[in-house]
Structure 1
């Protein structure tokens, strides 16, 4: 059995969180029904990982764990089809198996049907066996196959229930974390109003007017963000509200909101955004871009201050080979080690803990938003040596978008904004 097969199997099994868990009554019920329909004393639901066979439901024997090399079901796992053996002593696959020879058991009759996930991964079997030779009618064999499929349905329901429970727990924490994502627009408001208050003589009047305008726009966007996010929190998450959004305009709004943050770090932010629109939820996508840009500014400015001027490069354009908008945000900070690039998308995880302040929820928020739009997000190495976060969003997200998890709730002119 190949390492690749084992890896896919282990990943699929992990999603069900069934190993080591309390007995699943529905699986026990299916095992009991299998024993009854096949007229045998023993039936077992086996999950087989890379090293062991786990009896997660059993009738007629106590559920146990054994080495995979001792398992009869592991012998036929990769073939993933119904198996019927009247007397295992006469079958070359099983004649020397310890469950047949008497070392671990004296099985003679054996039949099994594979447990195959919706993705086509064989993760175990539903098997029936007895110490006397026997057989199954075609109808009994068909029933065993059907019950094996039902066992997979039970596991799928278990996975969905666990995911829902996790989302509900995260929803309880949502209200306390939402301020993290609203801090940048609020800082823009405060900063611009401070500028406006410095003086209103003839020379400062134009500056004050522009500052107040920026503050008003930031306040309006923050109000939209609050309204949308709290609606998701109250309702437990809904499908994103899809509209056509000009990509360059969206990025420009975010840069305006982050004006004070960028200025405080003396960072250079370069934007290369193509004309065009992406279909998505405006408030959520604004939050996505805001988190990516503020993270890049923070991490490029938060290490070796003064050694290298912080640089953030934002590029957004339609992919020429695929129907997606591709957004990349590069920085010239320390980067994120390859072994941490998946973990940084988890709540409370940070790629450079201790280097800069923060709660470690920004990229977790980003992943939730991207996945809700049917897209993908990943971390790579930036050409400047720092981190690159890449986001791919479908051109027409309406067919790909799915409910936002209750946890959290793109060639126009090139510009450079210097702090």
Structure 2
């Protein structure tokens, strides 16, 4: 029983007559039926799955019917009497394996709500990518076609402006593709952290200097490092990405001074990025790090993936990140990463 309890999906094992032989913990959680009540009971009574037309799933399954080569029943959405939707599939275990009688039926259950949310998330991703790619690609196509067709009609200055626009739009597409690759690596658990000694105040200073070079006033930023900081082994590129995204978020969606505080805490180093804008309402705080969250501000742009990626990068370092109201108003994003040495094994 311990082995099947470790499975993430629900599992029910029944004999050919519908007598329940085993149920794992996930199946009990998904159906609300206790194991003691399920084992030894009849499938139709204890797990009365029905399709959208109200037909009883187990009776329509009829293990003894159909071709003797039948071993699998495709997954389909079914409902329990309370209205809960589950995705249910089955495998017919025959002895002998080829053409024998059905001895057992193994039934797998998956949360229909989770599957629907996943499919909606994927649809949102496709829609977002299509929308974000259309604008820069249309611009690139338009300017390159115009230049190719009417090159001699434009002055050098006009050509330079159009080529700069094409270059900026190409950068925008590259950033989008990078974000999508990051999302894919985070969701699949394939995000690699290449650790080295990183000077966090120096990296934050570099991010601020880049914003100032891009035209932001120098007095908009305040950078402070409290106490002596321990040696930090981090992925420098990913730390730059985290800091850059949080500062960009504060500049674009906040107001007033952007403050970056770095301090030593009990188990690592904490970095806070604060602005003086409208902030994030407490009831919305749990949603901030989800994919496609953009809040209610009309000034928000981008794909809505940035903070999701930041959270994934922080957690890949073994850290945590939160958002709350800053003391001066506005939003305060605070992430903490642990101290320690890299594992070279």
Aligned equivalents of 2:48, 2:311: Cα separation in 1: 37
Matches within 5 A, 1:221-232: none
Please tell me whether the aligned partners of residues 331 and 386 of structure 1 are also in contact (alpha carbons under 8 angstroms). yes
Deviation per CA, 1:174-195, whole angstroms, max 9, x where unpaired? xx69x99xxxxxxxxxxxxxxx
Q: String of CA shifts for 1:105-160, please: whole Å, max 9, x gaps.
A: xxxxxxxxxxxxxxxxxxxxxxxxxxxxxxxxxxxxxxxxxxxxxx9xx99x99xx
Q: Which residue, out of 228, 233, 242, partners 1:288?
A: 242
Structure 2 residue 296 is the aligned partner of structure 1 residue 315: no
Measured in 2, the distance between the counterparts of 1:344 and 1:232 equals 18
Q: Which residue is equivalent to 1:343?
A: 287
Q: Deviations over 1:293-352 (max 9, x none)?
A: 111111223xxxxxxxx1111000111xx1210000111000101111111101111233
**CA shift for structure 1 position 259:** 1.9
Asked if 1:368 is matched to 2:312, the reply is: yes
Structure 1 range deviating more: 276-285 or 368-377: 276-285
User: How far apart in 2 are the matches of 1:343 and 1:233?
Assistant: 17
Contact 2:268 2:337 in 1 (8 A): yes
Alignment correspondent of 1:43: 21
Helix, strand or coil for the counterpart of 1:367? helix
Alpha-carbon separation, structure 2, partners of 1:345 and 1:290: 16
Contact map agreement 1:333 1:386 (CA 8 A) in 2: yes
State how far apart, in whole Å, the 2-side matches of 1:394 and 1:260 are.
Answer: 31
* Alignment counterpart, residue 272 of structure 1, candidates 224, 236, 251: 224
Corresponding residue of 2:197:
244
Gaps of 5+ in 1: 1-14, 19-23, 67-150, 181-224, 302-309, 400-419
Change (3 A) 1:278 1:232: same
**After the TM superposition, which parts of structure 1 deviate over 6 Å for at least 4 consecutive aligned residues?**
228-236
Q: Which runs of 5+ in 2 are unaligned?
A: 1-6, 50-106, 134-174
Cα distance change, pair 396–229 in 1 and its aligned pair in 2 (3 A): farther
Alignment equivalent of 1:64, drawn from 27, 35, 47: 47
**Which aligned pairs between 1:20-419 and structure 2 lie closer than 5 A?**
27-29=11-13, 41-43=19-21, 45=23, 46-48=27-29, 52-53=32-33, 60-62=42-44, 64=47, 237-261=190-214, 263=216, 268-274=220-226, 276=229, 277-301=231-255, 310-319=256-265, 322-396=266-340, 398=342
Aligned pair count reads 220
Residue 41 of structure 1: how far off its partner (Å): 4.1
SS of the equivalent of 1:53 reads coil
Q: What is the CA–CA distance in structure 2 between the aligned matches of 1:386 and 1:365, rounded to whole Å?
A: 22
Separation in 2, partners of 1:397, 1:359? 35
